[in-house]
Amino acid sequence: MNNKPYLNLIGLAYRARKCSLGEEAIIKDIQESRAKLVLLANDTGKQTKKKMTDKCHFYNVPLYVVDDRDTLSKAIGKTDRVAIAILDDGFANKLKTLLD
């Protein structure tokens, strides 16, 4: 894995079941105020990127565009994941400090 500490933290959050995966689940978590932070791959399609960006802005959820989908997917041990929602305040705050 790359030498990026935020990727390790994403993997840890996923193993702790503090993540949401899949476009529909993430949007539902944003709308229900469960998502504390959304990570979006930089090679996401235009439609998905716009939808996620609009939802995050409307519901005041921080959104970070990070590495490509392969890197993001490897961090959680899955394939073809373009977005991850973090559902825990602690993980979200630490990710913000690492990504800012």
Domain boundaries, the chain: 5-99
**What pLDDT sits at residue 3?**
63
Note the pLDDT tens digit of each residue in 69-96.
898 899 898 888 999 999 999 999 999 9
The total number of residues shown for the chain amounts to 100
SS3 call for 93: helix
Kindly report whether the global pTM for this prediction surpasses the value 0.85: yes
Going by C-alpha positions, the residue among 98, 74, 80, 93 that lies closest to residue 14 is 74
One CATH from 3.30.1330.30, 3.40.80.10, 1.10.10.10, 3.30.70.380 for 5-99: 3.30.1330.30
Q: pLDDT tens digits for 14-61? A: 999 999 998 899 999 999 999 999 999 999 989 999 999 999 999 999
pLDDT of res. 1: 44
